[in-house]
Amino acid sequence: MRCMYCGSRDSKVVDSRSTDDGTAIRRRRECLNCGKRFTTYEKVESVPIIVVKKDKSRQSFDRDKLERGILSACASRPVPMQTVDAMVSEIESRLHNSLQREVSSEKIGEMVMEMLRDIDEVAYVRFASVYKQFKDIETFQEELKKLTEKRG
């Protein structure tokens, strides 16, 4: 870290602590050249995730939009809000950990369906019917057949 007084790159950390909101580390430094003290802040750099839609348009990943979609599928179902929060956090974490800057909406939809299948089958079918855009009753029945085969 460059000293703001003399420009030297040699400094030592005298004190470190989290900011009040916990989003950064406050570091008190002392310049080894001039002896003056200064403060720096260290934050985690997050790489934005871009979602590539079916029509090839791109938009920033929106955690709230993902949560709304899952909540819609879970409406009137015995799925606790903390389960939905955990799902959203898990999906977001997987996306960030993949280190890919772009992800298809199909991949996100598959992740949601995979998790919903284990949590609530009705919510899974609701989400799948919108996500896969079932055109007729046969397509819907085919998806139900796959679900019952996986169960048994």
Contacts 24+ apart (CB under 8 A), 5-9: 5/31, 5/34, 5/36, 5/38, 6/31, 6/33, 6/34, 6/36, 8/32, 8/33, 8/34
**pLDDT score for 134:** 67
Q: Is the pLDDT of residue 34 over 70?
A: yes
The residue with greater pLDDT, 109 or 145, is 109
For residues 67 and 73, give the distance between their C-alpha atoms in angstroms, rounded to a whole number: 10
Instruction: Read off the pLDDT of residues 35-68 as tens digits, 9 standing for 90 and up.
Output: 999 999 998 777 789 999 989 999 999 999 999 9
**pLDDT score for 67:** 94
The residue with greater pLDDT, 1 or 9, is 9
Instruction: Read off the pLDDT of residues 92-124 as tens digits, 9 standing for 90 and up.
Output: 989 988 888 999 999 999 999 899 988 998 898
User: Given the structure tokens 């989290």, which residue do they identify?
Assistant: 18
For residues 141 and 19, give the distance between their C-alpha atoms in angstroms, rounded to a whole number: 54
